[in-house]
Structure 1
Amino acid sequence: MFFLAIRYSKVLEERGEVTYDSTVIVMSIEVTKILVSVTLRYVSSGEFVPFSVTIGPRRGQLWRMSWLYITPAFLYALYNNLTYINLRLFDPGTVQLFMQTRILFTGFLFVLLLHRSLSLRQWGALGILTVGLFIKYISPTVMQAVGVRLLSIQLQAFFSSLAGVYNEVAFKREAGTSIHLQNFFMYLYGILLNLMLGLLVAPHKYFQESIFRKPHVIFIPIILLGAINGLTAAFILKFINVIVKAFAASVEVILMAVVAAVVLGEPLTRQDFIAGVFVMCSVYLYYTKGCGSNVTCKSK
């Protein structure tokens, strides 16, 4: 639903009905998420985080811990802004499908940087994913948009996988820290980085196209869905089994394309559907255990 709302806003933008800067929207989502995190922390433990990090006795310890969150906050700031660019160039189904290349990037980052081994099942899943992406790449809906525009999705997927690998390594030592406190610092740095990004890239456009100067009802679902999407992802990563994430991601590949075709009238060909099935199967195989899971292929 989040991708669909953004895509619809881009349709409205092309019609001249709305205009906005993506960094302002992203920052508004981060503000919403940080308010929710502060509220949840206060409700669950009675701690008011802004007090703790400003004049509380643990403020020094908390700020030293917070430095861990600058790198992923920066990567997610780039990732989030690329979402708006890519959904202006491509339909939600295409973006969702090619975003699964983050599995490829994650696999190779684990092997090359962390020197971990992938199972035969995971390498097979990466092979199936490559076939699915190739089928989508040569489909009529994508062939007309190759080159730099398609590279933009790959860059977004790479930032996502790099942030995930970083979190895998860096956050283990903070496993006992409250998720609400972790989210507070992540979103705080996200707000600051998005503000800097907007002012550095296009300062005049940043103020002229503020959503507060030219409000539109479409901004409400984008901000709310973006906040729900981000908070849910954080809870899934910390508390829920990775298999649940695998099922959700694999089903979403096909579901997004179908819903976008029905609701927004986006093109959906048989070739697109076949590519989606390949990618959906690869996501499921990569994150679950079964035949080939116990056979590892070590990198040299």
Structure 2
Amino acid sequence: MHHGDNGNEDVPIRVTPDIGLVAPYSRRWRQSVQRLSLALLVAQNSVLVMVMHHSLSGPTGAQPRYRASTAVLLVEAVKLAASLVLATYDSCASYRSNQSCRAVLGHLRKSIFSRDSWKLVVPAALYTLQNSLVYTAISNLDAVTFQVTCQLKIITTVLFSILLLGKRISSKQWLSLILLTFGIAMVQITGPLNALDRMQGIIALLRGDVGSNSGAVKGFLAAVASSLTSGLTCVYFEKLIKDSRGSVSLWTRNVQLSFFSLFPAFLVGVCWQDGVAIHRDGFFAGYTLAVWLTILLQAVGGLIVAVCITYADNVTKNFAASLSIVVSYGTTIVVDGIPATLHSTAGASIVLLAMYLYNSRSPAPPPLLPMARQRMHLAEKPAKTHLLQP
């Protein structure tokens, strides 16, 4: 490391690559971070499902329910604050201790508002669009149909990973993804008769035979579009992180994403979508402890997801999210005393089987016997050429 020729220049001197607090110092370190982040994601999603269900079940009486748009805005604000703290700490740790805090913060500001920061406008806008589509879908579909339809994001994520990242998926992994989709759908549907009714309802939506329930078509299309935007947003953000590895830190990218997400979340969600209701009832109307815990868990989950897609990928992240649904199902059985159904248990087993198939590798070919190895070695030797003497 060398200082510049001008000793008066207050230029930070790099000592470690600016790739984030979880820098991949070794392969073992990367694997440890990957496993830890996936385990934390499973735990976070499992707890989030229960806390969010509790937050949506109240309040009762004349008190209005909290607006999802306000929660989305606060989630982005919390993520922005947390990412900014982590990016600042990472930037300070990446430079020599004799550099002034002002110089380090100046470099961080330039990194956040760099020339390529505009690239985060696309996932930020898609994220806001996805939230609006989810809101429309939930408003027009029942919970089970919405959850089953949204499992399409597993397939859309894989398709966008192939198109944007050049990811290669084997036939066994495709089979595991299809099994995962059906397994999660089986867990979320209470029984075979209910499953048949849901399938008939979805087929009716596809055929347009819904009678007077025109809102169901709108909700179904919104759920499908939400799955498409979810896959595109996650894969595009993964591409940005991995393409800029070594030049822009993970937490700087998170700061950029959260910063640009604030504008559509506020303008589209708070002002345009729920502006009248928020003006009438107040911004924090219906907020309880469960709502604040939901916001905190979603913000933490966003940070964990960023680490997951950095050290794994979005497909693996979806497997972790699917496993959390199975964990939530088992927790509900134990805590609430709800009897386990054969249908849901079979779905959970299919999910575990799909995870095993996706992560298992094809067996290596058996080693050659010594005699066969010797014959192959002799066969690979080039034949000697003899010059004919005159």
Whether the TM-score (by the shorter chain) exceeds 0.5 is: yes
CA–CA separation in structure 2 for the residues paired with 1:280 and 1:252: 11
CA–CA separation in structure 2 for the residues paired with 1:153 and 1:275: 22
Deviations 1:113-137 (A, max 9, x none): 6665421212221332354367566
Kindly report which structure 2 residues correspond to 1:58-69, keeping only aligned pairs within 5 A, or say none.
58=110, 62-69=113-120
Q: Are positions 1:188 and 2:259 aligned together?
A: yes
Q: Are positions 1:202 and 2:255 aligned together?
A: no
Q: By how many angstroms is 1:285 displaced?
A: 3.0
CA–CA separation in structure 2 for the residues paired with 1:129 and 1:247: 8
Q: By how many angstroms is 1:173 displaced?
A: 2.8
Deviations 1:190-239 (A, max 9, x none): 11111122222232023334442454222221111111111111122223
Q: 1:192 to 1:20 in 2, by over 3 A?
A: same
Conserved 8 A contact 2:234-2:314: no
Residue 249 of structure 1 corresponds to: 321
Bigger mean CA deviation after superposition, 235-244 or 185-194: 235-244
Deviations 1:52-89 (A, max 9, x none): 499x5x37x83422111112122223444566677784
Residue 125 of structure 1 corresponds to: 176
Q: C-alpha root-mean-square deviation of aligned residues, in Å? A: 4.0
Q: Are positions 1:173 and 2:243 aligned together?
A: yes
CA–CA separation in structure 2 for the residues paired with 1:111 and 1:42: 34
Q: 1:90 to 1:160 in 2, by over 3 A?
A: same
Structure 1 residue runs of 5 or longer lacking an equivalent are 294-300
Q: By how many angstroms is 1:39 displaced?
A: 1.5
Q: 1:247 to 1:128 in 2, by over 3 A?
A: closer
Q: By how many angstroms is 1:248 displaced?
A: 3.2
Residue 7 of structure 2 corresponds to: none
Identity between Structure 1 and Structure 2 (%): 23
Conserved 8 A contact 1:98-1:133: no
Q: 1:6 to 1:250 in 2, by over 3 A?
A: closer
CA–CA separation in structure 2 for the residues paired with 1:69 and 1:209: 33
CA–CA separation in structure 2 for the residues paired with 1:284 and 1:84: 34
Residue 71 of structure 1 corresponds to: 122
Q: 1:24 to 1:3 in 2, by over 3 A?
A: same
Q: 1:6 to 1:243 in 2, by over 3 A?
A: closer
TM-score (norm 1): 0.76
CA–CA separation in structure 1 for the residues paired with 2:80 and 2:322: 29
Of structures 1 and 2, the larger Rg is shown by 2
Structure 2 residue identity aligned to 1:217: L
Residue 284 of structure 2 corresponds to: 212
Structure 2 residue identity aligned to 1:23: S
Structure 1 residue identity aligned to 2:82: V
CA–CA separation in structure 1 for the residues paired with 2:61 and 2:243: 49
Conserved 8 A contact 2:241-2:310: no
Q: By how many angstroms is 1:109 displaced?
A: 3.1
Q: Are positions 1:29 and 2:75 aligned together?
A: yes
Q: Are positions 1:157 and 2:246 aligned together?
A: no
Q: Are positions 1:7 and 2:53 aligned together?
A: yes
CA–CA separation in structure 2 for the residues paired with 1:83 and 1:20: 16
Q: 1:260 to 1:18 in 2, by over 3 A?
A: farther
CA–CA separation in structure 1 for the residues paired with 2:287 and 2:321: 32
Q: 1:216 to 1:189 in 2, by over 3 A?
A: same
Residue 10 of structure 2 corresponds to: none
Q: 1:71 to 1:79 in 2, by over 3 A?
A: same
Q: By how many angstroms is 1:141 displaced?
A: 5.0
Q: 1:132 to 1:94 in 2, by over 3 A?
A: farther
1:218 is paired with a residue whose SS is helix
Kindly report which structure 2 residues correspond to 1:73-152, keeping only aligned pairs within 5 A, or say none.
73-80=124-131, 89-90=142-143, 95=147, 99-111=150-162, 117-129=168-180, 131-132=182-183, 135=186, 139-141=192-194, 143=197, 146=202, 147=205, 148=216, 149=219, 152=222
Q: By how many angstroms is 1:33 displaced?
A: 1.1
CA–CA separation in structure 2 for the residues paired with 1:122 and 1:182: 30
Bigger mean CA deviation after superposition, 16-25 or 104-113: 104-113
CA–CA separation in structure 2 for the residues paired with 1:277 and 1:154: 26
Q: 1:238 to 1:140 in 2, by over 3 A?
A: same
CA–CA separation in structure 1 for the residues paired with 2:236 and 2:310: 14
Deviations 1:239-289 (A, max 9, x none): 358897476334313112233455568896321222233234324433x24
